[in-house]
Amino acid sequence: MSKLAERLPGEESKNVVVEVEKLSDGSYTFKTATITDQ
């Protein structure tokens, strides 16, 4: 499991943190997505 962070276009002060889970077949599924002010 890993976390990815990337900036949202037009939202300079906000980040979106997406939590993903790697499945047994090698693909990924999204678990949660959180927008932070950091």
pLDDT at res. 16: 81
pLDDT at res. 21: 92
Question: Domain extents for the chain?
Answer: 2-36
Q: What is the DSSP string of 1-38?
A: -EEEEEEPTT-TT-EEEEEEEE-TTS-EEEEEEEEE--
pLDDT at res. 18: 87
Q: What is the pLDDT along the chain (38 residues), one digit of tens a residue?
A: 455 666 556 656 677 888 889 999 999 998 888 888 76
pLDDT at res. 1: 43
